[in-house]
Amino acid sequence: MFKDITIGQYYPTDSIIHKLDPRTKINSTLLYIIFLFVVNNLWGYMAAFVFLAFVVTLSKVPVKYILKGLKPLVIIITLTVLLNMLWTPGNVIFQVWIIKITDMGINNAVNMGLRLILLISGTSIMTLTTSTLDLTDGLEADIKKVPLVKRIAHELSMMMSIALRFIPTLTEETERIMKAQKSRGADFESGNVIARAKSLIPILVPLFVSAFQRANELAMAMESRCYHGGENRTRLKQLKYKKRDAWAYILVFAVMAALTATRFLPAVNLV
Amino acid sequence: MLRWQYSNWWRRTLKRAFAYNLFYKITMDKLIEVKNVTFMYDEENEPGIKALDNINLEIYKGEFLGIAGRNGSGKSTLAKLLNGLHLPNRGDVFVMGQNTKDENKLLDIRKTVGMVFQNPDNQMVATIVEEDVAFGPENLGLPREKLRQLVDESLKAVGMEKFKDKKPHKLSGGQKQRVAIAGVLAMHPDLIVLDEATAMLDPSGRKEVLATVKRLNQEGVSIVMITHYMEELTEANRIIVIDEGKCVLEGPPCEVFRKQELLEQMRLGVPEIVEISNALRREGVKLSNNILTMDELVDELCRLA
Amino acid sequence: MSVSVKNLTHVYAQGSVFEYTAVKDVSLEVGAHEFIGIIGHTGSGKSTFIQHLNRLLVPTSGTVVINGIDINQKGVLMKDIVKRVGIVFQYPEYQLFEETVYKDVAFGPKNIGFDDEKIDFYVRESIELVGLDFDKVKEVSPFDLSGGQKRRVAIAGVLAMKPQILILDEPTSGLDPMGRYEILECIKNMNKQKGICIFLVSHSMDDVAQYADRIMVFNEGKLVMFDEPSKVFADSGKIKEMGLDVPQGKQVLEALKSRGVNVDTSAYTTEDTIKELLKFFKKNGGNNV
């Protein structure tokens, strides 16, 4: 049942956020990330949090899915918080042995922790509401606007979509080869690291052989369907901004302005 | 020894097929002409090994041509020469009068000659069925409205319109191959070459594909069906048998199937119905010579009983 | 060696939205030297079923007993199971990975702990059993062989582990008619000469009808029939209902019968059909013969 794995973490439902153009979502997320670093006090984080909560409510994605996105990053977040807390100079609040906790340290730690959590939840909401397919299309459209890389925009997106297309095929294949080698007495579970790495050879060699063969056949199939690069190519599905995207952009710009404005509010010091 | 037999057979078959070929030549337009083609995969390192050896054949508009041959006979190589995926080392291939060696005509040639391959998983490009069907016309740079129309019409032609939003890996083998056919159809080809397109399918998938191909042929699309199962070629107008890179037999199915022994020497067989009728005929049961299907056999036997 | 399966059920992704019962309450007994054919359309549960016979899948409920040992019991080693039950999957040539044919065929026997002398003997024996010339191919890279030869090497790789039960999933798919015949004859020899118990999964009714002693018919996860070919194909209506074909010869006989020609419809192989038809036409109406 490996077949049902989906890459990314798309949560299919029908909401206004799902319906937004992928470019709107990608660009807004980028803006949001940039402005998270502009924010420098608690007011700002609170504003960002309110905005995020608003988007989450609109998206109809259960909060537990967003928390799930945070889970694998708990270690990184904790590490960042600890490092900031311990290595920032300032007025020492208390000290155990050589560990000094300063007021600035606590402030920095809270700032960085909040920033990371908001950043990750923000990106999750984008990947949760945009299918991988739309994401590639959106990225392609965006990359086309970037001066240096726009020449390879088509190639990049073609590569991405072919990779997506072959992930289920190759996971299935891996599963099949593993079963075949297991039936020949191969053991992938016991032994030390070197033995285990070695035991992967009977899976990796056939997998690579078949992947190359697939690539070769796919190239031939594409060629015989008149593929000749991105030149003069049209698309069945074209991204088209709708009215709601305009509203979304206006809202996002307004929120970003508000986030910038919070810099001028008096700082709230925790300690 | 084997060679000698082949060439002898070949000469006799040629004579018999002559009148038949003549009929095609007068009444039908030539779509493809393969002239004295020799093809070697690795001329530098293995100069003697010819995948195809001096092949000559013609494919006509509207016909259903079967090309049969054992594994490694060169039949798939031949398929890849028909739309310029391979270029002959010697000789020429002309598609609608244009040489496949002419690079400027390659897109035209590939638009005319569509190709469906063996492994359904390795010819799907997109992650959604309708986008995959659109791939060919997209490459031709057609406007969006036209793309939409072509995609809808081709999916309908293979009976897959209900699956247009599905992911390809959720489809059965037969459905995938029908999508692949739709992808080719969307470029409005004159000829579709099916290069062992049924080899990896289960019986029901095979039936789906054969029925689709038959219907398309009735609607005027020429078909080249490459296979090693003769039972898939009972509907063909003409069968060419390839062995060791050479054309060994040519003629309408009933004529080719009568040479059961020769076919078996070439590691092929005849459809089971033909096998039964050949065996009965050998034992003196007076069956007619052109039985191809179960119904025909049963009718004949009822007549005799 | 015998196989005894009791109330085997397998549910995929239990408890999730994808929950799907692939095998439902299958019970059966197979003797030591039988040749079993397995038929059923795609998705009928036959592939899931065979993977239980060497513990690639663990039953959701029910037991699989091979030669008196419940293979899902604690303490039974995978090594000891695969030593007795070999599986050749569809398109087995995709499992080849070694530099030489010899090394590839020796992979299985090495894994289950045979000594070098034994390995040498069994590798040679299995390569010859699948109809290849040992001295010619042993040092060749498996990737340089033709498709049909690769498949034989892959089958030899499983045979070299000396299984008493050999399961083959569509071993002839993609091969030309003669290649198919050769592989099937070779499997028949393994059964007749070496006494290996064979489970042959196939989409070709004609092949199964011709080679199997008994046939399992799977439909919607259930084992609906398990009997001799003559009995399985006796009710062709039932077989067709499950989306399967009846051997063509049999169809001819039945069509004749339904049109009032009084032939005996019990034959199910092509050979027997021809015999029956000849018998009939020689007996009745000598003027037509």
Q: Is residue C255 part of a domain?
A: yes
Residue A200: DSSP 8-state: T
Q: Cα(C95)–Cα(C107) distance, rounded to whole angstroms? A: 11
Residues of B in contact with A237 (CB under 8 A): 131
pLDDT recorded at residue B102 = 92
CB atoms within 10 A of CB A80: 17
Q: Is residue C14 part of a domain?
A: no
Which of B85, B140, B167 shows the shortest C-beta gap to A220? B85
Say how far apart CA B279 and CA C247 lie, in whole Å: 17
The whole domain housing B291 covers 271-305
Terminus-to-terminus CA distance in chain A, angstroms?
A: 53
CA distance C174 to chain B (A): 5
CB B274 within 8 A of CB B260: yes
How is the beta sheet containing B238-243 ordered, strand by strand? B113-116, B191-195, B222-227, B64-68, B238-243, B246-251
Residue C83 token pair: 């030593």
Please determine, for residue C42, whether its predicted confidence score (pLDDT) is greater than 80: yes
Do both B92 and B233 map to the same domain?
yes
| pLDDT tier at B199, thresholds 50, 70, 90 | very high
Given a cut of 60, whether residue C1 has pLDDT beyond it is: no
- pLDDT at position A3: 40
Q: Do A206 and C96 touch (CB under 8 A)?
A: yes
* Beta-bridge partner residues of C86: C166
Residue from the list C176, C204, C251 with its beta carbon closest to the beta carbon of B70: C176
Q: Is the pLDDT of residue B264 over 70?
A: yes
Work out the number of other CB atoms within 10 angstroms of the CB of residue C75.
Answer: 5
pLDDT in tens, A164-193: 888 888 989 999 999 999 999 998 877 788
- C24-38: per-residue pLDDT in tens? 999 999 998 999 999
- Looking at the complex, report in whole angstroms how far the Cα of residue C255 sits from the nearest Cα belonging to chain B: 7
Read off the amino acid at residue A90. G
Average pLDDT, chain B: 88
SS3 sequence, A26-87?
HHHHHHHHHHHHHCCCHHHHHHHHHHHHHHHHHHCCCHHHHHHHHHHHHHHHHHHHHHHHHH
Query: Would you state the pLDDT for residue B3?
Result: 46
Task: Find the chain A residues whose C-beta atoms sit closer than 8 A to any C-beta of C.
Answer: 1, 4, 173, 176-177, 179-187, 201-202, 205-206, 209-210
- Residue B121 with chain A: CB contacts under 8 Å: 169, 214
The answer to whether the Cβ–Cβ distance between A223 and B107 falls below 8 Å is: no
Residues of B within 8 A of C249 (CB-CB) are: 272, 276
Q: Is B119 on the interface with A (CB under 8 A)?
A: yes
* pLDDT(B5) > 50: no
B274 band by pLDDT with thresholds 50, 70 and 90: very high
Report the relative pairing of strands B191-195 and B90-95 from DSSP bridges: unpaired
Q: Which residue has the tokens 């492994």?
A: B119
Residues B298, B249 share a domain: no
Indicate yes or no: CB of A225 within 8 angstroms of CB of B184.
Answer: yes
- Residue C13 tokens read as 């992704």
Closest chain B residue to the Cα of A6, Cα to Cα: B167
Which pair of tokens denotes residue A39?
């924010």
Q: Is C88 strand, coil or helix?
A: strand
Would strands C20-30 and C3-12 be described as parallel, antiparallel, or unpaired?
Answer: antiparallel
Which of A47, A45, A60, A52 has its CA nearest to residue A12? Answer: A60
- Answer whether residue C136 is part of any domain: no
Which chain B residue lies closest to C179 (C-alpha atoms)? B267
Residue-wise pLDDT for A38-78, tens only, equals 888 888 888 899 999 999 999 888 888 888 778 777 888 88
Give the residue numbers spanning the domain of C289.
247-289
Same domain, B141 and B290: no
C17 in a domain, yes or no? no
Residues from chain A contacting residue C12 (CB–CB below 8 Å): 1
Q: Is the pLDDT of residue A7 over 70?
A: no
Model confidence at B2, pLDDT cuts 50, 70, 90, reads very low
Contacts of A165 (CB under 8 A, 6+ apart): B124, B125, B126, B127, B168
Which residues in chain A are contacts of C87 at CB distance < 8 A? 179-180, 183
Closest-CA distance of chain C to residue A14, Å: 19
> pLDDT tens digit string along C90-122?
999 999 999 999 999 999 999 999 999 999 999
Higher pLDDT, B151 or B1: B151
The answer to whether B42 faces chain C, any CB pair under 8 Å, is no
* Beta-sheet pairing, B113-116 with B191-195: parallel
Q: Which candidate from B122, B184, B187 shows the least CB-CB separation from A214?
A: B122
pTM for the complete prediction? 0.85
HEC-encoded secondary structure of chain B: CHHHHHHHHHHHHHHHHHHHHHHHHHHCCEEEEEEEEEECCCCCCCCCCCCEEEEEEEEECCCEEEEECCCCCCHHHHHHHCCCCCCCCEEEEEECCEECCCHHHHHHHHHHEEEECCCHHHHCCCCCHHHHHHHHHHHCCCCHHHHHHHHHHHHHHCCCHHHCCCCHHHCCHHHHHHHHHHHHHCCCCCEEEEECCCCCCCHHHHHHHHHHHHHHHHCCCEEEEEECCHHHHCCCCEEEEEECCEEEEEECHHHHHCCHHHHHHCCCCCCHHHHHHHHHHHCCCCCCCCCCCHHHHHHHHHHHC
Q: Is residue C272 part of a domain?
A: yes
Residues B176 and B186 in one domain: yes
> Chain A contacts of B170, Cβ < 8 Å?
3
Q: Which of A176, A184, A187 shows the shortest C-beta gap to C157?
A: A184
B298 and C42: CB-CB below 8 Å?
Answer: no
> How many domains would you assign to chain B?
2
Instruction: Find chain B residues with C-beta within 8 A of C208's C-beta.
Output: none
User: Could you report the per-residue pLDDT of B73-128, keeping only the tens digit for each?
Assistant: 999 999 999 999 999 999 999 999 999 999 999 999 999 999 999 999 999 998 88
- Contact across the interface for B134 and A236, Cβ inside 8 Å: yes
Measured CA to CA, the distance from residue C169 to residue C33 in angstroms comes to 18
Closest residue of chain B to A212, computed from CA coordinates: B122
To the nearest 10°, report the CA torsion of B276, C185, C244, B182: -90
Test A185 with C143 for CB contact under 8 angstroms.
no
Model pLDDT, residue A53:
92
Residue B54 or A266, more confident: B54
Residues B31, B148 share a domain: yes
User: Are the C-beta atoms of residues B13 and B251 closer than 8 Å to each other?
Assistant: yes
Number of structural domains chain C divides into:
1
Exposed, middle or buried by CB within 10 Å (0-12, 13-18, 19+), for C147? Answer: middle
Say which CATH number the domain at B132 has: 3.40.50.300
